[in-house]
Amino acid sequence: MKPRHVAIIMDGNGRWAQARGLPRSHGHRVGQEAVRRTVTCAAEEGIPYITLYSFSEENWQRPPEEIEALMALLTEALTSETDWMCQNGIRLNVIGATHKFAQSVQQSLNDAITATAGGNRLTLTLALSYGGRQEILHAVETLLAETKNAALTQDFFAQHLFTKDLPDPDIILRTGGEYRLSNFLLWQSAYSELIFMDVLWPDFAAEHFQEALSLFARRQRRYGGVVDKTEAAL
């Protein structure tokens, strides 16, 4: 059994760079190479959705020079990778409070989203200026403003989240040796399989992704009850 949706907390760029006496920004740049490796592997495995925790709401608290370097890297990557995404059937999607970004960054995002809109092989979602608690509060505010008498169900609530067009992640994978979700997809991860790896993100390779898929295939997904019917049939 393969997952439909893999969501990744890409942790360890800064530590990777510092261990080598390099600026943290260099770790982020090398981490971009791991992004391409991972997306390529996911596409080859036929996984239709992958979401990357690229810049959290809390990341705005980092030093201004690091934020500036991250924004420059994001813009550069969008420019350099758009043709590759188009050629490989990858559609770019973004969730989060991207209105906080400079207009130039927003324009780069919009251009890449438009250019890759026809991709039907894999949807790559970048979580940018994203926070799970903030997303839930945004959904509540929207519901309060738009509805009065509608019955509030989980499905109805989920349609007001940033991820309304995505299935919930089957896997939440975190690199870097930490064991927490860090405000990532809190509602959506209710029944996700959690996988933590000690490898720092810049060193994340295809074999690590394959290892995560193997771990997932061996797990039984009961959802609080019986084993998942698809898995029970294997």
197 located within any domain: yes
Which residue in the block uniquely carries the two structure tokens 């193997």?
A: 214
Contact present, 172 and 189 (Cβ < 8 Å)? yes
Instruction: Please state, in angstroms and rounded to a whole number, the distance separating the CA atoms of residues 125 and 110.
Output: 13
36 located within any domain: yes
Candidate list 11, 13, 93, 170, residue with the active-site label: 11
Go through the chain and tell me how many residues it has: 234
178 located within any domain: yes
What confidence score (pLDDT) does residue 9 get? 98
Phi, psi (deg, nearest 5) at residue 129: 50, 45
Contact present, 187 and 172 (Cβ < 8 Å)? no
pLDDT tens string 64-120:
999 999 999 999 999 999 999 999 999 999 999 999 999 999 999 999 999 999 999
Q: pLDDT below 70 — which residues of the chain? A: 149-150, 225-234
Is 11 noted as a catalytic residue in this protein? yes
Phi, psi (deg, nearest 5) at residue 79: -70, -45
Is 88 noted as a catalytic residue in this protein? no
Instruction: Please state, in angstroms and rounded to a whole number, the distance separating the CA atoms of residues 15 and 148.
Output: 49
Domain ranges, residue 104:
9-130+167-212
What confidence score (pLDDT) does residue 228 get? 53
Instruction: Please state, in angstroms and rounded to a whole number, the distance separating the CA atoms of residues 19 and 192.
Output: 32
Here the tokens at position 168 are: 């919930």
153 located within any domain: no
pLDDT tens string 199-208:
999 999 999 9
Instruction: Please state, in angstroms and rounded to a whole number, the distance separating the CA atoms of residues 110 and 93.
Output: 9
Q: Where are the strands (E) in the chain, listed by range?
A: 5-9, 49-56, 90-95, 122-130, 171-174, 193-196
Candidate list 13, 59, 93, 110, residue with the active-site label: 59
Give kind and range of the element (H or E) at residue 225: none
CATH label of the domain that carries residue 68: 3.40.1180.10
What confidence score (pLDDT) does residue 226 get? 57
120 located within any domain: yes
Q: The whole model's pTM is what?
A: 0.92
Rg of the chain over all Cα atoms, to the nearest angstrom: 18
95 located within any domain: yes
How many domains does the structure of the chain reveal? 1
Burial class (CB in 10 A: 0-12, 13-18, 19+), 127: buried
